[in-house]
């Protein structure tokens, strides 16, 4: 689902907005967060639901590692640096598998006259964003800069749909206080107006400017390939 699609603008975004604040109005803060996680995973799955287990497994793995790196470290019999290294290497290995497997197989075949078939893996949506965001979380946990270890909050931190597929990569301490602030638990019409204004500017840049130049650029690339 693209941010400039009719489904997003006229269905997904308004429904998510009104249901979220309705749950908050009923003092169901936990339910509201759970709803945001659900809608974010639905948003992510819209492209290809087969990659949903990847982001869920990645979240669970990094939640356990991050939780072990900070206040619950005393329960783990592994050195903190080693545990952090395991977390970072595991995340980078997952990313590298999807991005570079065919690259290494192709070069191996060229170098050693091999015949290993290519995997032709499709890159899962937003894997770079949620991987590096969780690596940043592990580093913050190692430094003792994360303060809460609720899995629902962590899932929201990773999957929140406005920044899931296009970034930016944010730190835990920058994002999560916004969901616990009492001022953000009620509608703020000034913030809503500001958000709609910024969204409209981005939509204009995407639809009118970027898409228009994309047609010219695509014609140029086609001409070069001839």
Same domain? 147 vs 225: no
Same domain? 210 vs 117: no
Confidence of residue 148 (pLDDT cuts 50, 70, 90): low
Same domain? 121 vs 171: yes
Give tens-digit pLDDT for 112-135. Answer: 888 888 888 888 888 999 999 999
pLDDT at residue 163 tops 60 = yes
Instruction: Provide the domain count of the chain.
Output: 2
Residues contacting residue 26 through CB under 8 Å, at least 6 positions apart: none
Q: What is the pTM of this model?
A: 0.84
pLDDT at residue 212 tops 60 = yes
Cβ neighbours around 96 below 10 Å, total: 14
Confidence of residue 223 (pLDDT cuts 50, 70, 90): low
Task: Measure Cα distances from 81 to 60, 74, 117, 145 in Å.
Answer: 20, 14, 37, 16
Find, among 213, 190, 202, the residue nearest to 162 by Cα.
Answer: 202
Same domain? 120 vs 202: no
- The Cα–Cα gap between 226 and 222 comes to 7
Same domain? 32 vs 81: yes
What's the confidence (pLDDT) of residue 122? Answer: 83
Give tens-digit pLDDT for 43-102. Answer: 999 988 988 999 999 999 999 999 888 765 555 556 888 999 999 999 999 999 999 998
The continuous run of DSSP H or E covering 111 comes out as helix 80-112
Same domain? 164 vs 192: no
Domain with 109 in it: 6-187
Identify the residue whose tokens are 């982001």: 55
């Amino acid at each position: 689902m693209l941010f400039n699609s009719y489904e997003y603008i006229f269905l997904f975004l308004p429904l998510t907005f009104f249901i979220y604040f309705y749950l908050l109005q009923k003092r169901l803060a936990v339910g509201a967060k759970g709803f945001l996680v659900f809608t974010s995973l639905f948003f992510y799955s819209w492209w290809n639901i087969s990659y949903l287990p990847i982001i869920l497994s990645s979240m669970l793995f990094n939640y356990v590692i991050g939780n072990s790196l900070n206040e619950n470290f005393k329960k783990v019999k592994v050195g903190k640096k080693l545990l952090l290294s395991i977390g970072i290497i595991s995340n980078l290995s997952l990313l590298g598998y999807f991005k570079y497997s065919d690259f290494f197989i192709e070069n191996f075949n060229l170098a050693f006259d091999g015949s290993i078939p290519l995997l032709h893996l499709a890159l899962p949506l937003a894997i770079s964003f949620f991987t590096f965001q969780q690596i940043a979380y592990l580093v913050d946990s190692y430094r003792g800069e994360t303060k809460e270890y609720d899995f629902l909050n962590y899932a929201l931190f990773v999957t929140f749909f406005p920044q899931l597929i296009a970034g930016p990569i944010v730190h835990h301490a920058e994002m999560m206080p916004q969901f616990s602030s009492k001022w953000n638990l009620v509608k703020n019409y000034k913030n809503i107006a500001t958000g709609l204004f910024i969204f409209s500017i981005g939509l204009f840049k995407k639809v009118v400017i970027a898409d228009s130049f994309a047609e010219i650029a695509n014609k140029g690339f086609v001409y070069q390939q001839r």
